[in-house]
Amino acid sequence: MSVQAAGRKPPLLVYVNIPFCNSKCHFCDWVAQVPIGDLRLGPDSPGRRGHLDALRAQIAAHGPDLAQRYRPEVMYWGGGTASILSLAEIESLHDALAGALPLDDVTEATIESSPESLTLEKLRLLRERGFNRISIGVQSFDDDRLRMIGRVHSARTARASIDLARQAGFDNVNIDLIIGFPDQDLAEVEAMISHAASLPVNHYSIYAYRASQGTVLRRRLDRAGRRTDLRKQLDAYRLASAILTESGYPEYTFAYFGAPICLADLSYYQMKLDWIGFGSGSFSVLGGHIKGFASGKMHHYIASPAEFDYDVPLSDQSQAANLIGFALTTPAGVDAQVYLERTGTSLWTALELPEVREYLDQLCQHGRLITDEAGIRFARDDIAKVFISMNWIDQPPAAAQENLGMPAPVPA
């Protein structure tokens, strides 16, 4: 983190995890470990009420200390599906945050959403509560594709949700789209991205499909003896990038197109500030440590929301590959000075760790790594190829358990 002005507290990202959805999408590995009975809990269920009570308890427990040490600058409600919350739940949760933390300096406040969960009344309430950016999990504008991947909304509902967000006063609207499914041809990609570029949207997240273990789509592929086609995925990404760039939405970092940039994502990837994670399955980076709650253990979280399940120094060797990998998805790459300040460890020392060297060897099979006194980064034109190629590599179960933080980014 850069040196703060005298007397000025360092910035903080406030993340709130809402581990509920209307459906268990067939591609999503973030909810693979969440029992379907917990994932789809309604507002009147004891489990959902219990999670919200636990959220407020965690906020009350950690808020005063955080307020003394930090200045909240970015807020992000994710999940799961954060917009699944009712009006009363949104008000209650936001009241708890605003009562514990000073939110006046928050410059970007994002909520993740799914199209079917949005109403004009809810969107207007979110704007009143200070949210100025919304991310809508559209994924596709093809109804057959939406059914195949387990979404419960239609293409018509997706388009309507974008219009509703604009009516409510959101002028910073992102939509998530997925490309590169095994049976998806370039004509479908071209139609989807061209249509997306014609909508009143200013930011696009374009994700190459990853056949993650534990998901419905991965099991289907395994049963059929099929794999995703890397060449087709790269062609699809290049096509999407070309269409969006020509439409005035250039890519500013891997998978993200348009403006303004998402402060939450870049802060997260580049290790530029600390953050607090509230909620089951969330994690935090505070004071040189990564702390958090085990995924899929909502009832454990409800029983003890103020006590993190793990607390590991960022300097721990188990975190080096994660931290370096995330930063390498950005054109700036890994800044050696920032890495030293954030972890207390020299980047050059971390690069000699066996697991880091092995990881970089894999990455460098697909792109040119540039190394200089400022740090390391991939050539700008190689970043997408490098990280889409890595979608093919399954992480061993033991390694997945050891990587306590930095989950891989996937669409909401």
Do 80 and 279 form a contact (C-beta atoms < 8 A)?
no
Structure confidence at residue 135 (pLDDT): 98
Give the right CATH number for 11-267 from 3.40.30.10, 3.40.1010.20, 3.20.20.70, 3.40.50.11890.
Answer: 3.20.20.70
Ramachandran sector of residue 307 (left: φ over 0; alpha: ψ -120 to 50; beta: rest): beta
pLDDT, tens digit (0-9, with 9 covering 90-100), for 304-331: 999 999 999 999 999 999 999 999 999 9
| Cα–Cα dist 184/10, whole Å | 46
Phi and psi, residue 369, nearest 5°: -90, 125
Do 282 and 293 form a contact (C-beta atoms < 8 A)?
yes
Digits of tens for pLDDT over the chain (412 positions)?
Answer: 344 555 689 999 999 999 988 887 877 777 667 788 877 888 999 999 999 999 999 999 999 999 999 999 999 999 889 999 999 999 999 999 999 999 999 999 999 999 999 999 999 999 999 999 999 999 999 999 999 999 999 999 999 999 999 999 999 999 999 999 999 999 999 999 999 999 999 999 999 998 878 888 788 887 888 878 899 999 999 999 999 999 999 999 999 999 999 999 988 899 889 999 999 999 999 999 999 999 889 999 999 999 999 999 999 999 999 999 999 999 999 999 999 999 999 999 999 999 999 999 999 999 999 999 999 999 999 999 999 998 876 654 433 333 333 333 344 4
How far are the Cα atoms of 74, 195, 219, 381, 383 from residue 211, in angstroms, in the given order?
A: 31, 26, 9, 24, 20
pLDDT, tens digit (0-9, with 9 covering 90-100), for 382-408: 999 999 998 876 654 433 333 333 333
Please give the distance of CA 280 from its chain centroid, rounded to a whole number: 15
Domain boundaries, the chain: 11-267, 317-404
End-to-end CA gap in the chain? 28
Query: pTM for the whole thing?
Result: 0.92
Do 76 and 103 form a contact (C-beta atoms < 8 A)?
no
| Cα–Cα dist 314/203, whole Å | 31
Structure confidence at residue 404 (pLDDT): 37
| Cα–Cα dist 8/385, whole Å | 41
Structure confidence at residue 395 (pLDDT): 54
Place of tokens 């190459």: 208
| Cα–Cα dist 166/300, whole Å | 39
Phi and psi, residue 275, nearest 5°: -145, 155
